[in-house]
Structure 1
Amino acid sequence: MGSMDAARAMTGFFDAPVRGKNLDDLRRANLSTALGLIHAAGSISRADLTRSMGLNRSTIATIVADLEARDLIVVGEARDTKRIGRPSLEISTSVRHVVIAVNPELDATTLGIVAMGGRVLREVRMEHERPPTAREVVNSVRALVAGMQPELGERHVVIGVALAVPGLVSAVDGSVRLAPHLGWVDEPISAMLADALGVPAWAANDASCGVVAEVLFGAGTGSGNVVFLNGGASGIGGGIVAEARLIQGRGGFGGEIGHTLVRTDGAACRCGSQGCLEAEVTRRALLEAVDLGVERSHELEALLAEAYVDRDDVRALLDAQLASLAVALRTIINTLNPEVVVLGGFLEILGRIGGERLERMLRADALPGPAEQVRLQGARLGRMSLLIGAAELAFRPFLSDPIAVPVAAGRASLADLG
């Protein structure tokens, strides 16, 4: 699947595509497709947009003018190309409309101001001495947004708030059924944030958000079959995209790969079982092995890489974690036959230090067909993947129905003239 084809497939990630029944529906569908392609590409020439959509240049010009009038895109200078003829204008998404994206974790809550095109305009990290309650997260977000209001109100329109939560999140109402490491049970976090901020709110599992971001903008770009494993302070989460669709299951609870059994006599897990992947492969054990506190976790990779060579105890710990990770990956690869497995968080560190060993175990243990077709990648978006993916929850109304976005003051859409 080519990158432009994948971008088209990912348009409206969380929703069914718009299908035209009359001229208004056709216009809506064309605007949605164009905005989705521009959003996924970040920046695209008008000529490439024309070729991708298969429409004539005058129709594309009308579509571009309509989206520009709604402050959804920016038309810039012509791209310098070697092609014969007049250079094509460059089109990118606007930063006018933004989402407040939030990722609560054991040690910190991260807030980002995210614009379309996967751009994080600002990031704020609030450290915790203990896991925050749902109410504390809501209060912290409300206080931060209030402090940013002068800047936000002048430059941006906040269309909503979206959370990436390390736990089971209902796809129906955005409530958290269970986030064991945070101690959250049946918390209506989306409703709480909507009431506090006065804007629509969404929530989803953090790794499900991460896989969406990595497929659209990161290591999974160009592929419709991607598994994302994120290693964070609260454990390991999984997100799955198959045939260009996010796999969430009936209630939105799918993808809990962190609770894959990897050792029958293993450590107790917070879920009540034992030997789960996230009980055997932990960031805490890695930090303790090199005498690091959570506040210095940014030094983990450098110290682990050095200790892996010089210290037998650290090498044994990493090899044991790599072996457990390989068991889980073997199950994933044999079951789902993904093209890409993306490792994020501290799992990316494990992959960079022991990648060759991990690859050997996978090639030896997984079935030959799926094992030959998969590649392991680090998360290209880093820690931003969770925020960017969460923002997609709020951007989907824009992507599916740009006509619902009002024309900016002082502008007129060509389609609305007359």
Structure 2
Amino acid sequence: MTDTHAPGDGVRQRNLSRLLRLVHREGPLSRASLTEATGLNRSTIADLVAELARLELVVEQAPAADGRVGRPSPVVAASAGVVAIAANPEVDALEIAAIGLDGSVCVRERRELDHLATPQEIAQLIAEQIDLWRTGVLASAQIVAVGLAVPGLVRASDGLVRTAPHLKWTDVPVRDLVARATGLATTVGNDASLGAIAEHLFGAARGIDDVIYLNGGASGIGGGLIVHGVPVGGAGGYAGEFGQNRPGTTVTDRRAGDGVLEDEVSRARLLSVAGLASADEPTLAAVLRASTAPSVTEEVARQRRILSTALANAVNVLNPSVVVLGGFLATLAGHDIAELLQVVRAQAMPACAEDVEIRPALLAEDRLLVGAAEAAFEALLRDPVLTAVPAE
């Protein structure tokens, strides 16, 4: 759309951004609540809301009757019709969803893969799915951007996937490939780092400033960090690779020689003892929970012992308030989360671990897609006027 900014519009842009972020992240808020949260006066709030509504980024709803005296304040909500496409390529499937600015998952698909897809194939699959949705469930939607959560090292400056070893991708310009295939602005990030942001903003670590997030998926174990409320990426954007650490596995528990954490604590090993060739997260969790086979019980216990040591090391280094576990790690923890916490505390420095909690990812199998969508929404949230493209 045409640049409608004028000189001196910086304050207005920041205020529009602030309001849009509030209703996006907090949910529907009354104009009175927005006035209180921002310190802006009522007429300014009314003007800003009107501008966001003109851009079709928010909708105003009738207030609920609450019995209070006086004229009720209209409720402002982020638009469900403004969506980001979120995708998570893995070794066995492509998960893809359209997620609304209001946080709703509009539609979600899992495309099973019988081979390691190339970056070009993934870009084409995403483009095909978007085209299909545009003729159906997303026919009237504003699609603002695409976000990818990739299980590998992603360079923060330009979205180059330096290495995704399980996918066998090396130095691939995934952002550019997907942008060309879809015609949409595209962002790419490490899957676990995006999962950490999603759980921090909307999930199990909401309102928590110091968080360790570990994600267990088909490609291994990744991690993300929130320190003093800020995501930590490191110098190149590669921080959080907990799965590549060596947890000091005992000889009796070792299965992968001199392997790293993700070689020992492994979704593939759980699938194997459960007798499954492949499965999504809920299916694997259900099968493990229902099984009474000694091989399953022993493998779950072995992986929990190794995981507890790795978590204790991380707690000693980072002293988090909360450790969030996603994917098959949440399944491992869920067998007895109190016992896992007890074992972690027994191996960690008492002062570092005395107040720590371990929580399963609240967003469950949507966590990586929600994180990818949040990255895709960022440009719009930063500058709603320049980025929004109202539907015709």
Answer whether TM exceeds 0.5 for this pair: yes
The 1:106/1:407 distance shift into structure 2, 3 A limit, reads: closer
Secondary structure at 1:151 match in 2:
coil
Specify the code of the residue in structure 2 equivalent to 1:38: V
Of 124, 133, 138 in structure 1, the residue corresponding to residue 118 of structure 2 is: 133
What displacement does 1:179 show?
0.5
Specify the code of the residue in structure 1 equivalent to 2:342: R
1:186-335 matches, within 5 Å, as 186-263=171-248, 266-268=254-256, 274-295=258-279, 298-307=282-291, 310-335=292-317
Q: Quick one: distance in 2 between partners of 1:291 and 1:153?
A: 38
What displacement does 1:406 show?
5.4
Q: Quick one: distance in 1 between partners of 2:264 and 2:388?
A: 51
Secondary structure at 1:181 match in 2:
coil
1:67-82 matches, within 5 Å, as 67-82=52-67
CA contact (8 A) 1:170 1:252 kept: yes
TM-score by length of 1: 0.86
What displacement does 1:322 show?
0.8
Aligned to 1:388: 370
CA contact (8 A) 1:287 1:297 kept: no
Secondary structure at 1:123 match in 2:
strand
Secondary structure at 1:294 match in 2:
coil
Per-residue CA distance 1:250-289 (angstroms, 9 max, x = gap): 11111111112113665559xxxx3321111011111222
Secondary structure at 1:122 match in 2:
strand
What displacement does 1:349 show?
0.8
Q: Does 1:62 align with 2:44?
A: no
Aligned to 1:369: 351
Specify the code of the residue in structure 1 equivalent to 2:127: R
State how many pairs are aligned: 383
The 1:365/1:409 distance shift into structure 2, 3 A limit, reads: closer
Q: Quick one: distance in 2 between partners of 1:333 and 1:58?
A: 48
The 1:355/1:408 distance shift into structure 2, 3 A limit, reads: closer
Q: Quick one: distance in 2 between partners of 1:296 and 1:409?
A: 35
Specify the code of the residue in structure 2 equivalent to 1:399: L
Per-residue CA distance 1:194-244 (angstroms, 9 max, x = gap): 111112111000011111111111111111222211111111110111112
What displacement does 1:180 show?
0.6
Q: Quick one: distance in 1 between partners of 2:148 and 2:233?
A: 16
Aligned to 2:329: 347
What displacement does 1:72 show?
0.9
Secondary structure at 2:117 match in 1:
coil
Secondary structure at 2:206 match in 1:
coil
Specify the code of the residue in structure 2 equivalent to 1:315: T
CA contact (8 A) 2:203 2:361 kept: yes
What displacement does 1:299 show?
3.1
Of 391, 394, 397 in structure 1, the residue corresponding to residue 379 of structure 2 is: 397
Moved more, 125-134 or 43-52: 43-52
Specify the code of the residue in structure 1 equivalent to 2:297: R
What displacement does 1:103 show?
0.4
Aligned to 2:4: none
Secondary structure at 2:362 match in 1:
coil
The 1:241/1:82 distance shift into structure 2, 3 A limit, reads: farther
TM-score by length of 2: 0.92
Aligned to 2:96: 111
Secondary structure at 1:95 match in 2:
coil
Q: Quick one: distance in 1 between partners of 2:103 and 2:236?
A: 27
Q: Could you say what the CA RMSD is over the residues aligned between the two structures, in angstroms?
A: 2.1
Q: Quick one: distance in 1 between partners of 2:196 and 2:170?
A: 24
